[in-house]
Structure 1
Amino acid sequence: MKAAFFHDVKLLRNKDNKYFSIGDFYYEIWKRYLEHFDELTVVTRCIEINDDNMNKYKIASGENVNFQSVPNLNNLSIIKNYRKAKRIIREVLSKVDCAIIRLPSNIGLVACHECIKMGKPWAVEVVGCAWDALWNHGSIKGKLVAPIEYFLNKYYIIKAPYAIYVSKSFLQRRYPCKGVSISCSDVNIFEPQQEVINKRVEKINKEFDGRPINFGMIGSLDVSYKGHETAIRALGSIKGDIPDFRLLLLGPGKPNKWQHLANSLGIGDKIIFCGTLPGGEAVLRWLDNIDIFLMPSLAESHGRALVEAMSRGCPAIGARTGGIPELLSEECIHKAKDYKMLSKIIIKFIKSKDLMKKLAIENFERSKEYSKNILDNERKKFWNQFKQYVQTKHSCTDTTSV
């Protein structure tokens, strides 16, 4: 049985026609679907790259996985590329038994539409909120597009026969589905070991031992909705009230905007841009160096990076946005964009190592709910059920045709 996966993410193709991922779409992820389907065709944007050092990327190519490039459908490109993209998507759908569509994505929306027209079995993975991401993107264009994308995503998700959500309840409330649905995070961590929290508690007991406090954030520097401004303003407002500190920012993008803001607040020398790291162990090691993790996002459907930080026993503070309150205690939550409230919580953390230890342990224990074994089992049940649905649909079609 063949399946196609539709999403709007950039994959890299080298001269040997092998595909690589900048982020999280590597071969191990495709294995989730290959456990249930014999072959997977990945339909997304692909970019030619001439780079002899491909070791910095994760390999996306692998056995029983094919790739089909679709032209860009973001921004005004959709006007020029829509017909070609639609034709490609229909061709792929005609050769597979079902579709797995990750939303929000414009390629995904077209795939939803064509699945309905062609009577093709489909399931959606709801991994984000189109409204929050676009409205808080930081551009007028984002605010203009947000209502349209919100309506389209809501329209198709409610029609989906099967849906898997990364949040416990946030996305389900905003984008309900009348079909079969489950909650299953897209976090990919192994169950944290006890030694992790033991080392964290020992670290907190030593306080900061004459070194700077390390605050940490993970997210693209090129968007406004990750809350970099809130974090920088909060730390700038209390720079004279707390011990020496650093703000470590992990993620792709141009740092100029945030460096300029930090300079204007007198903390330019406190900001460290860490670039990107391959997902997995490298990120977890980076988190072990963070004392307090910050997620002051304006849009965050689940908070995957937050779960990773919690799995390392990081005390964490987050905005009352999307799925963040599903993960953190109330005393760790601030109103989105409210840097003054964030700064007060930071001071409260720093003044009480007992509070820091309590929250570190709470976060560590809560993160176990998102360990790979538990989530893999939930996904397997879901995709097995979807596969049976696909088989039933095809049996009915075959019977009707006879």
Structure 2
Amino acid sequence: MRVVVTSESRFSRTPDGAVWVEAGPDNSIWRRYLVAFDRVRVAARVRDVARRPAAAARVDGDGVEVCALPYYVGPRGYLLGRRAIAKAVTAAAAPRDAVVLRVPSPIGSLLARARSRANLPYALEVIGDPYDVLAPGVVRHPLRPLLRALSTRTLRSQCREAGAVAYETERCLQLRYPTLPTTPTAGISSVDLPPAAFVPHARPVRQPPPEATLVSVGSLEQLYKGIDTLISALALMPAEGPSARLVHVGVGAYRPRLEQLAARSGVADRVSFTGPLPDTEAVRRTLDSADLFVMPSRTEGLPRALIEAMARALPAVGSTAGGIPELLTPDCLVPPDDPAALAATIAAMLAAPDRLAEASARNLDRARDFSAATLDARRAAFYRTVSEIAAGRPGRRSPVALRSGH
């Protein structure tokens, strides 16, 4: 059986037919579905390019094909091309295919509507929360309030109509977007780390250097990750306390604006942007050289970047957005959009070597819950349930939690 999976990622296709992604799920992610299906078709936006983009990873191959949907950018592009997009995504899935929609997603919503009209089943993987993604201060668009209301209502409806639902989080998304009582559900992070992602031991008690290194990771295409809050917090750190510099890993359109903010805040000499790093090992080296990971996001599902940092036994501070509180203890959390609280928490962490060591050990232990060995069996069980539903043999309800015992 073939499974068709929708994605909001934007892909590039080179003249040889290969499909690439610069920031998003690559072939290794899509191959996960092959544990229960013969073939995987990914339905996503594709543009043709002359050459492979820098630092891009392959999407297709090894049982994975890409169904190219019309390429658009932003709500306006979607609205202008909606008819063609709907036609293409509906044609991507045959009646006998299993369908998994990675939501929230305008593309996924189009296919959900088509499957419902045809009385055909679909499953969901809920990987984000539109209520948070479209919150004030996250996206600057005149239609933001309307888009927030519509997308939140749509996701709630889809979760009630889906044949099976997997959530990225343990509790957060489940509470806001519940299913019917009889729907098979699972709490499975899309993050599953290989053995090489983990360091063998937690960090010992040690005094941070005279100027500690903070590291953050994330796209700068929007202000989702709250890096502007972090830059403002850096400027508010008390002069008599620990000194710190920030290294951000990630690219996007807001980088010039963030550089200007750093200059206005008087911390330009203590903020650096790495741009795209060449590979995973380079990211891990950057994490290993840091003293504290900071994720002041305005919206999150269950953040891969934070889990990867925790696997390097890196102490971390994060916001209370999305699934972050499922990963960090309350003393390491601050509200989004609160530079003063973030500055105080960072300063307090850096001033307490024993607290940093405790956080290091705790984070490494928690990150092991996201090892590939831990999650593969749960993910396989969910996909087999989706396969049974698509074949007309509804699987038994068997909720799968992210951590055993939940």
Secondary structure of 2:252's counterpart equals coil
Answer yes or no: is the 8 Å Cα contact 2:197–2:308 preserved in 1: no
2:63 & 2:351 partners in 1: Cα distance?
55
Query: What residue number does 2:149 align with?
Result: 147
Specify the code of the residue in structure 2 equivalent to 1:186: S
CA contact (8 A) 1:121 1:393 kept: no
Question: How far is the alpha carbon of 1:180 from its aligned partner?
Answer: 1.0
* Range moving further from structure 2, 240-249 or 11-20: 240-249
C-alpha displacement of 1:80: 2.5
> Does structure 2 retain, via aligned residues, the 8 Å contact 1:73–1:106?
no
Q: Is the 8 A contact 1:98 1:120 kept in 2?
A: no
> Identity of aligned pairs, percent?
27
1:12 matched to 2:12? The reply is yes
One-letter code aligned to 1:230: T
Following TM superposition, by how much is the alpha carbon of 1:182 offset from its aligned partner in structure 2, in angstroms?
0.6
For 1:157 and 1:193, locate their aligned partners in 2 and report how far apart those are by CA, in whole Å: 33
The answer to whether the 8 A contact 1:189-1:280 is kept is no
Q: 1:192 offset after TM fit, Å?
A: 6.8
**Is the counterpart of residue 182 in structure 1 residue 181 in structure 2?**
no
TM-score, normalised to structure 2's length?
A: 0.90
- Shift in Å, 1:289: 1.5
The verdict on how the C-alpha distance between 1:245 and 1:152 changes in structure 2, with shifts beyond 3 A counting, is: same
- Higher deviation after alignment, 22-31 or 107-116: 22-31
Contact 1:73 1:82 in 2 (8 A): no
Deviation readout 1:255-294 (Å, 9 max, x if unpaired): 1111111111110111110112366433222211121111
Counterpart contact for 1:73–1:81, Cα < 8 Å: no
Q: Residues 138 and 122 from structure 1, CA distance in 2 versus in 1: closer, same or farther, beyond 3 angstroms?
A: closer
Letter in 1 for 2:223: S
State whether structure 2 residue 64 is matched by structure 1 residue 69.
Answer: no
Residue of structure 1 equivalent to 2:219:
220
Amino acid at match of 1:240: A
Q: Which residue of 1 aligns with 2:316?
A: 316
Instruction: Give the structure-1-normalised TM-score.
Output: 0.91
AA matched with 1:187: V
Q: Higher mean Cα deviation, 57-66 or 68-77?
A: 68-77
Secondary structure of the residue aligned to 1:81 is helix
Q: Which amino acid aligns with 1:272?
A: S
TM-superposed deviation, 1:94: 2.4
1:188 aligns to what SS in structure 2? coil
The one-letter code matched in structure 2 to 1:315 is: P
How far apart are 1:20 and its partner, in Å?
0.9
CA distance in 1, matches of 2:267, 2:232: 10
For 2:80 and 2:100, the matched residues in 1 are separated by 25
| Structure 1 residue 66 displacement after superposition | 2.1
Q: Relative contact order (C-alpha < 8 Å, sep 6+): which is higher?
A: 2
Task: Give per-residue Cα distances to partners, 1:288-321, cap 9 Å, x unaligned.
Answer: 1121111111111212211111111111111111
- What amino acid sits opposite 1:260 in the alignment? Q
Q: CA deviation at 1:73?
A: 7.5
Measured against aligned partners, the alpha-carbon deviations of 1:66-88 in whole angstroms (never above 9, x if no partner) come to 22111238412233222222222
Once the two structures are superposed, residues 345-369 of structure 1 have per-residue CA deviations (whole angstroms, 9 ceiling, x without a partner) of 1121111101110111011111111
In structure 1, what is the Cα distance between the partners aligned to 2:198 and 2:74? 45
> Which has a greater percent of helix?
1
Name the count of aligned residue pairs.
388
Aligned to 2:397: none
Map 1:196-345 onto structure 2 (within 5 A): 196-198=200-202, 200-201=203-204, 205=206, 207-210=207-210, 212-238=211-237, 240-254=239-253, 255-277=255-277, 280-345=280-345
Unmatched tracts of structure 1, length 5 or more: 395-402
Whole-Å Cα distance in 1 between the matches of residues 197 and 13 of structure 2? 37
